[in-house]
Amino acid sequence: MSNITFSMIKPDAVEAGNSGAILKMIEEAGFKIQAMKKLWLTRERAGQFYEVHKERPFYGDLCEYMSSGPIIAFVAEKDNAVADFRELIGATNPQEAAEGTIRKLFAKDISANAIHGSDSDENAAIEAGFFFSRLERF
Ligand code: IDP
Ligand code: MG
């Protein structure tokens, strides 16, 4: 059973001023934020992050979109984190997302869908490592 997942609040939700409401839902669902930062991805870095999707028809649009404005990247901890977080955010297409899910409440459409959530423990570790050191010193 996993205990961490990686997430990003996407540019549409940050721009709309919904990050606070989204983070409140995540904390109320029992997740603890382990690490968090706001940043603006370059087109290149978005392309690296979504490299698994590079053969998909929406890859170019996805990379443009994810580099179109600031995001908030974070690691969240909870028992069964990956599956529970996917349930909290809802289906990729907000029109198919269950009532009360983050995407149902805040996503605009299938590409500007408010939030990312890792799909496996293995990818959670890879994605968290893409943005965060295990122990950030400054
Ligand atoms: P997920 O975010 O629910 O895991 P994935 O299939 O991993 O969904 O796709 C990654 C992201 O790519 C989605 O969150 C969404 O922003 C975008 N995306 C997925 N499918 C489509 C599509 O059919 N058209 C446009 N964008 C898409
Ligand atoms: Mg995915």
Q: Do 54 and 62 contact (CB within 8 A), yes or no?
A: no
Q: In the chain, helix, strand, coil percent, each to 5?
A: 45, 15, 40
How much distance in Å is there from the Cα of 28 to the middle of ligand 2? 23
Q: Which ligand is nearest to the CA of 50?
A: 1
Its pTM stands at: 0.95
% pLDDT > 90, the chain: 94
Q: What is the pLDDT of residues 57-84, one digit of tens each?
A: 999 999 999 999 999 999 999 999 999 9
Q: Do 45 and 73 contact (CB within 8 A), yes or no?
A: no
How confident is the model at residue 99, as a pLDDT? 98
With 70 as the cut, is the pLDDT of residue 95 above it?
Answer: yes
Residue among 116, 117, 127, 128 flagged as catalytic: 116
How confident is the model at residue 133, as a pLDDT? 87
Catalytic residue flag (residue 116): yes
5 lines ligand 1 (CB under 6 A): no
Residue-range domains of the chain with CATH: 4-131 (3.30.70.141)
Q: Which ligand is nearest to the CA of 68?
A: 1
**Per-residue confidence band for 135, with pLDDT thresholds at 50, 70 and 90:** low
